[in-house]
Amino acid sequence: MTAKDIWLEWTQPPSMAGPWLGSRWELKSNMLQIHNLSATVGGKPILKGLSLTVNAGEIHAIMGPNGAGKSTLSYVLGGRPGYEVTGGSVTLDGQDLLALEPHERAAAGLFLGFQYPVEIPGVSFVQFLRESLNSQRKARGEAPLSGGEFLKLARAQAALLRFDMEMLKRPVNMGFSGGEKKRAEMVQMGILDPTFAVLDETDSGLDIDALRVVGDGINAIMRRPNKGVLLITHYQRLLDYVRPDFVHILSDGRIVKTGGPELALQLEAEGYEAVAA
Ligand code: ADP
Ligand code: MG
């Protein structure tokens, strides 16, 4: 429990809680709360009692050595088959995330950026994005966007990421370079406009210009008082553009150290073993 949570409890007696105060208090509330999470992959324990709280308006970076369980954490949050939760809990805006199907998690506002984005032959990116958005809107009881409305939105988001609209007419990720896939993923995030994003090594394979564009995109789309981000990264470079509120070191399935942005600099200089010891 953080000082902020305690402050919230003190200042929000149950009798005061009500829809008329909702938006005001939501600004300070926990968005993602992971408590003592354990998970196995192929019967092998990977997450071993991981706890982490992200408040609305915060960006948290997760760093850690290869094989620590960073990608496993993002898959477990997304509900990927084969990743079995063996203990603990996860709530998003107070909702039991682990009880939801993957598509329900997305409709609830969760977005996952993948370390290795998939290619889908035969389906154009525009088509894929429109279907994704409209199925989420449907699950939330919102009307679907028409083709015209959708294209307007897609154009605006592509422009933000300086992504060529023509490329969005090609099959999903087919023939895209590593950097283009990551930028396309940010365009997707802009279109879906999630409340919480888990971005797994969004910076891998990016040159320095693309890194800046992606960093600016994350800030523009997700740096909001009612949103939150878990940014999984190996290098502190991306954190020059997207300044995290907290940096955590994940090692052997647990958070072993938490600090501010300076922790990322210290890691870069000294390495995981020295800092996490
Ligand atoms: P990170 O993203 O931190 O590098 P991962 O979450 O990808 O780490 O992997 C954590 C551990 O889980 C690694 O030791 C990896 O070998 C193991 N692992 C991942 N997928 C499987 C699988 N399908 N079967 C067994 N072990 C797996
Ligand atoms: Mg990984």
pLDDT band with cut points at 50, 70 and 90 for residue 10: very low
Question: Taking the model in full, what pTM does it have?
Answer: 0.86
Residue 208 lies in a domain: yes
Choice among 116-120, 128-132, 206-210 with the minimum mean pLDDT: 116-120
Residue 31 lies in a domain: no
pLDDT band with cut points at 50, 70 and 90 for residue 22: very low
Cα of 47 from ligand 1 centre, angstroms: 10
Looking at the DSSP bridge assignments, the partners of residue 92 are: 32, 95
Task: For ligand 1, atom 21, name the residue with the nearest CA.
Answer: 41
Residue 271 lies in a domain: yes
What average pLDDT score do residues 139-155 get? 94
Q: Quote the CA–CA distance of 248 and 233 in Å, as a whole number.
A: 11
Q: What is the CATH number of the domain that holds 271?
A: 3.40.50.300
pLDDT, tens digit, 9 for 90 and up, residues 69-80: 999 999 999 999
The boundaries of the domain holding residue 128 are: 55-83+99-276
The answer for residues whose C-beta is within 8 angstroms of residue 226's C-beta and 6 or more apart is 26, 27, 56, 57, 195
Residue 19 lies in a domain: no
Q: Quote the CA–CA distance of 268 and 161 in Å, as a whole number.
A: 28
pLDDT, tens digit, 9 for 90 and up, residues 74-125: 999 999 999 999 999 999 999 999 999 998 999 999 999 876 778 888 889 9
Verify whether ligand 1 is closer than 6 Å to residue 80 (CB atom).
no
Q: Which residues surround ligand 2, an ion (CB under 5 A)?
A: 70-71, 115
Amino acid present at 76: V
Residue with tokens 């009692």: 49
Residue with tokens 């959708």: 150
pLDDT value, residue 28: 53
Q: How many CA atoms lie within 13 A of 117 on its CB side?
A: 28
263 pLDDT higher than 50 = yes
Residue 28 lies in a domain: no
Residue 41 lies in a domain: no
How many domains would you assign to the chain? 1
Residue 107 lies in a domain: yes
Residue 74 lies in a domain: yes
Amino acid present at 5: D
pLDDT, tens digit, 9 for 90 and up, residues 209-232: 888 888 999 999 999 999 999 999
Handedness of CA 231, 235, 236, 238 (dihedral sign): negative
Structure tokens at 266: 């210290």
